[in-house]
Amino acid sequence: MFRWREREPGVGPTYGVDWAFTDRAGGVSAGPYDSLNLGAHVNDDPGAVSRNRGRVAQAFELDAADLRFMRQVHGTAVAWASSKLHAGEQDADVLITDDPDVALVVLVADCTPILLLDRTEGLVAAAHAGRVGFTTGVVGAALEALRDRGARDIEAVVGPSVCPRCYEVPADLREEAAEASPAAYSVSRTGTPAIDVAAGVVDHLQAAGVAVTWLSGCTREDKTLFSHRRDGVSGRFAGVIRLLPPEDAA
């Protein structure tokens, strides 16, 4: 179920966190969505998706209704989430909360998932960085929104995404990405123009003073992960983050 997960309880006045990236295993979906597809917008059986989401929620000691999703539109919009808001999915590529009673979810199948945390202020965020979102500043939008709410000591985990070997693009798109971050300039396995979105994301985070953990893995090369670029019809895996209350709050 989880490609990577860490659960760190709060210590003293400091908040804890439970954050993870899922893989394809441990679900009930069939066919190209086999098996832990968490995307409800890819024509998978809705009942299977609901059961899959319930399993992930249970692992986070929550109900499925406590998972907060976005309608990801490859932009830079930021939305607030909490247990008191039940408005459904919002058009956004960044979700933020200070509420330990919900978990934020970012869905991907080649794009770069980002989880953000400030342990002192008690804020978490989940962000979706595709090529367009990366070049138009989704990382900066997420960090600005967190800092507007008081975050100062932010750390991030960047999950698996398509690697530049597998992300061939026209030369003009590579130049556009390189203008956003030189780290994104790359070549494919055949020597053609390519983009390294994740490297650009990490560059933006580090330039902003964020401590970054960058997880290895290419979605197109690793069949334990969903990849739209590899398979066409594909499910979605997720980055999930839940804030845990400080020990002093017990």
Tell me if the bond preceding 161 is cis, omega within 30° of 0. no
Domains of the chain: 2-243 (3.60.140.10)
Residue length of the chain: 250
Query: CA nearest 114: which of 203, 52, 26, 185?
Result: 203
Q: What is the average pLDDT across 17-39?
A: 98
Alpha carbon 116 to its chain's center = 9
Residue 102: closest CA among 18, 209, 6, 200:
18
pTM for the model: 0.97
DSSP tag of 231 = H
Q: pLDDT tens, 163-173?
A: 999 999 999 99
Per residue in 76-121, pLDDT (tens digit) is 999 999 998 776 688 999 999 999 999 999 999 999 999 999 999 9
What is the chain's mean pLDDT, rounded? 96
